[in-house]
Amino acid sequence: MRYKNQAFDVPVDTAAVAQAAFPKGNPYMTMRDEIGPLYDDSHFAHLFSHAGRRGESPGNLALVLVMQHMEGLTDQQAADAVRSRIDWKYALGLELTDAGFDRTVLVNFRKRLLAGSEELALLEHMLARFQEMGYLKGQGKQRTDSTHVLAATRELNRLELVGETMRHALEASARVAPPWLQQQATPEWFGRYGRRLDQYRLPDTKKERQELAEVIGQNGVELLQAVYATKTTPELKSLPEVEGLRQVWVQQYLLQEGEVRWRRPDDRPPGERLIQSPHDLEARYSQKGGGANWTGYKVHFTETCDRDKPRLVTHVLTTPSTVPDSQVTTTIQQDLGANGLSPAEHYVDAGYIDAGNLVESIDTAIDLIGPIQPDSNWQGRDLQAFDLSCFTIDWQAQQATCPMGEKSVSWSPGHDNYDHEITHVRFARATCAACPQRERCTRAKKNGRSLKLRTKTEHEARQRAWQRQETSTFKEKYKRRAGVEGLISQGVRRSGLRRTPYIGLAKTHLHNILVAAATNLTRVVAWLEGSYPAQTRVSAFQALAPST
Ligand code: SF4
């Protein structure tokens, strides 16, 4: 298959006009001259049919997607830029007369990337080129941070959710099987679901809202029963909107003695499974530590932070908003290792560290650097109290010794709710009751102090990390993590990182990868033009502070 346009050399006319238009240079010209064509057609050729007429160069389309995110352009604006801007033509190696393409070509290219699971190729081929250029190497320093990404849907309360889910399923069914739906729908359905179910149209009292929710529930069950019973239009069953209706109904309603009942709030599935909108079934509701909440996703970026090289994003991970940071640390490190980009030092905040991934980091020879969270119980929060670090554990004898020199009296291995191996350790009630330091140790009225231990390896890794983070060397070293906020801020300002323009996790992930690729390209071009990352600014007064 031949493609239009991809050429290593910039056409002579384009080069002459670009040099006249930008006598002092231009970032896109620097990019083309110093980096060369980043993507080759062969990287993406397998996503296209080998028959039919000549298509646009896949390598160039990939680069256009990245350039689009460098400037935060819409598809239409990006297609216009390809057609009309000299610097874009130079970067893409196009003839001056090249008419470009319709914006739908970009839409289709993104679809092909997702269908072929090739979205990561946009970042990987770029990183491979930067490795060739000496800007990237394994065994350096990298840091990871995450930020929230709002779903491209409206926030809905529970009543709006069920009403909107029903309306969405009816709209989809009406497009696929209009005569069939006309037979099923009652006159009330047209009044109730003909328009979007907004808050202002809903009843005020709790009782009326409950009644309406159960009427909607009954209507949904009737629609689902009709869809599953029909032999004339079996395709209705496989509509995503109908499947969404089924899933939302399972989560929000109960069938009791033939009646459809709205579930109580405490009788619904946990947050990680709870659908928030029929328009994006994968977006989840989550709350941050500070109380801020959002519905959508979370993106984790990992970037290099060696001082003698441009800072480059090496890894992007998008998850539902409910996945804790500590659950992705190992995945990120394994992915980096698989691409030959394992860092020697990995800087993260406390959310990414738990005993398990401290041990896994040791196994992969990565120094995971960050503060570990204190014990979640009150002893961990009170500086005067005896937390776990105050106890000596003899794993062989299966016994703990408390700060007052007393020995534990029971040792019971088991598992916690997350299936982690744990051991419950107890001290004798009578011993603790007579202890002069009891107030610093336990608030249990009827029992002695109890401890919950992870495995020996995890416990020891945690203790070592705890001791290390108290040192001034660690505190100085850990300052390196702070700059990662600059990456998030760049993504937010240039590419609207905090609100996905797409529906669903896969498309949101593609968007996040493009934000990362655009950031990398911007940074390398800036580096090539002699603009190096600024160190964190220190005020004139702070600069006078004695070093610790
Ligand atoms: S309360 Fe019990 S476990 Fe705690 S220090 Fe006193 S004797 Fe030891």
Continuous segment of H or E residues that includes residue 255: strand 253-256
Q: Is the CB of 499 under 6 A from ligand 1?
A: no
Kindly give the distance from the C-alpha atom of residue 435 to the centroid of ligand 1, in angstroms, as a whole number.
6
For the segment 524-528, the average pLDDT, to the nearest whole number, is 93
Query: Which residue is listed with tokens 């160069």?
Result: 57
Q: Tell me, what's the pLDDT at 442?
A: 95
Mean pLDDT of the chain: 90
Query: Which residue is listed with tokens 């804790």?
Result: 324
Kindly give the distance from the C-alpha atom of residue 404 to the centroid of ligand 1, in angstroms, as a whole number.
6
Residue of the CA atom closest to atom 5 of ligand 1:
404
| CA atoms of 237 and 356, how far apart (whole Å) | 43
For the segment 189-218, the average pLDDT, to the nearest whole number, is 88
Q: Which residues pair with 435 in a beta bridge?
A: none
Atom of ligand 1 nearest to the CA of 431: 7
Q: Tell me, what's the pLDDT at 1?
A: 44
Q: Check if the beta carbon of residue 90 is closer than 8 Å to that of residue 15.
A: yes
Kindly give the distance from the C-alpha atom of residue 469 to the centroid of ligand 1, in angstroms, as a whole number.
26
Q: Is the CB of 461 under 6 A from ligand 1?
A: no
Q: Is the CB of 451 under 6 A from ligand 1?
A: no
| Torsion of the alpha carbons at 122, 124, 128 and 133, rounded to the nearest 10 | 60
pLDDT digits (tens, 9 = 90+) for 37-82: 889 988 888 887 666 556 788 999 999 999 999 999 999 999 999 9
Residue of the CA atom closest to atom 8 of ligand 1:
402
Query: Which residue is listed with tokens 């006319």?
Result: 13
Query: Which residue is listed with tokens 């970037």?
Result: 303
What interhelical angle do 158-176 and 206-229 show, nearest 10? 30
- Residue 442 phi/psi, 5-degree rounding, is -150, 145
Q: Is the CB of 398 under 6 A from ligand 1?
A: no
Give the residue among 442, 443, 376, 378 at the shortest CA–CA distance from 408.
442
The token duo for 140 is 């350096």
Atom of ligand 1 nearest to the CA of 438: 1
Query: Which residue is listed with tokens 């007429």?
Result: 53
Q: Tell me, what's the pLDDT at 202?
A: 81
By most ligand atoms within 8 Å of CB, the mutation choice from 431, 445, 446, 447 for ligand 1 is 431
Q: Is the CB of 438 under 6 A from ligand 1?
A: yes
**Of residues 487 and 524, more confidently modeled:** 524
Strands 55-56 and 3-4, by their bridges, are parallel
By most ligand atoms within 8 Å of CB, the mutation choice from 390, 410, 442 for ligand 1 is 442
In sequence order, the 6+-apart residues with CB closer than 8 A to the CB of 173 are 180, 181, 223, 227, 236, 239, 241, 242
For 324, the 3-state DSSP assignment is coil
Give the residue among 176, 204, 174 at the shortest CA–CA distance from 189.
174
Q: Check if the beta carbon of residue 410 is closer than 8 Å to that of residue 425.
A: yes
In the chain, the percentage of residues whose pLDDT exceeds 90 is 67
Atom of ligand 1 nearest to the CA of 405: 8
Q: Tell me, what's the pLDDT at 3?
A: 46
Alpha-helix residue ranges (DSSP H) falling in 470-529? 472-478, 484-495, 505-528
Q: Could you state, in order of their start, the residue ranges of all structural domains in the chain?
A: 3-118, 141-147+296-371+474-528, 158-267, 378-460
Residue type, 201: R
Strands 293-304 and 313-320, by their bridges, are antiparallel
Q: Tell me, what's the pLDDT at 496?
A: 84
* Cα–Cα distance list, 218 to 164, 213, 249, 374 (Å): 14, 9, 10, 49
Query: Which residue is listed with tokens 């997702």?
Result: 114
Does the pLDDT at position 513 exceed 60?
yes
pLDDT digits (tens, 9 = 90+) for 204-241: 898 999 999 999 999 999 999 999 998 888 899 999 99
Poorest-pLDDT segment among 49-53, 102-106, 261-265, 375-379: 49-53
Does the pLDDT at position 459 exceed 80?
yes
pLDDT classification of 5: cutoffs 50, 70, 90: very low
| CA atoms of 86 and 15, how far apart (whole Å) | 9
Q: Check if the beta carbon of residue 434 is closer than 8 Å to that of residue 322.
A: no
* Cα–Cα distance list, 511 to 18, 68, 69, 127 (Å): 30, 11, 9, 17
Kindly give the distance from the C-alpha atom of residue 402 to the centroid of ligand 1, in angstroms, as a whole number.
6
| CA atoms of 96 and 5, how far apart (whole Å) | 11
Q: Is the CB of 372 under 6 A from ligand 1?
A: no
Q: Choose the most confident range, by mean pLDDT, from 40-49, 348-357, 530-539.
A: 348-357
In sequence order, the 6+-apart residues with CB closer than 8 A to the CB of 30 are 525, 528, 529
Q: Check if the beta carbon of residue 416 is closer than 8 Å to that of residue 422.
A: yes
For 292, the 3-state DSSP assignment is coil
Q: Is the CB of 358 under 6 A from ligand 1?
A: no
Structure pTM? Answer: 0.87
Q: Which residues pair with 303 in a beta bridge?
A: 143, 313
Residue of the CA atom closest to atom 4 of ligand 1:
441
Does the pLDDT at position 543 exceed 70?
no
Continuous segment of H or E residues that includes residue 441: helix 438-441
For the segment 428-443, the average pLDDT, to the nearest whole number, is 95
Does the pLDDT at position 345 exceed 90?
yes
Q: Is the CB of 449 under 6 A from ligand 1?
A: yes
Q: Check if the beta carbon of residue 508 is closer than 8 Å to that of residue 500.
A: yes
By most ligand atoms within 8 Å of CB, the mutation choice from 392, 406, 440, 446 for ligand 1 is 406
Q: Tell me, what's the pLDDT at 201?
A: 74
For the segment 472-489, the average pLDDT, to the nearest whole number, is 88
pLDDT classification of 538: cutoffs 50, 70, 90: low
The token duo for 366 is 């990565």
Atom of ligand 1 nearest to the CA of 427: 3
Q: Is the CB of 388 under 6 A from ligand 1?
A: no
Does the pLDDT at position 197 exceed 90?
no
Give the right CATH number for 141-147+296-371+474-528 from 3.90.1150.10, 3.40.605.10, 3.40.50.10470, 3.30.420.10.
3.30.420.10
Kindly give the distance from the C-alpha atom of residue 399 to the centroid of ligand 1, in angstroms, as a whole number.
14
Q: Tell me, what's the pLDDT at 109?
A: 94
| CA atoms of 347 and 367, how far apart (whole Å) | 8
What is the DSSP annotation of 32-67?
Answer: IIII--SS-HHHHGGGS-SSSS-EE-HHHHHHHHHH
- Provide Rg for the chain, Cα atoms: 29
∠ CA 168-170-174, rounded to 5°: 120
Q: What is the DSSP letter of 407?
A: B
Q: Is the CB of 126 under 6 A from ligand 1?
A: no
pLDDT digits (tens, 9 = 90+) for 316-340: 999 999 999 999 999 999 999 999 9
For the segment 497-519, the average pLDDT, to the nearest whole number, is 95
Q: Is the dihedral of CA 67, 73, 75, 80 positive or negative?
A: negative
| CA atoms of 494 and 28, how far apart (whole Å) | 16
Residue of the CA atom closest to atom 7 of ligand 1:
432
HEC readout, 82-150: HHHCHHHHHHHCCCCCCCCCCCHHHHHHHHHHHHCCCCCHHHHHHHHHHHHCCCCCCCCEEEEEEEEEE
In the β-sheet with 450-453, what is the strand arrangement from edge to edge? 410-415, 421-426, 450-453
Q: Is the CB of 343 under 6 A from ligand 1?
A: no
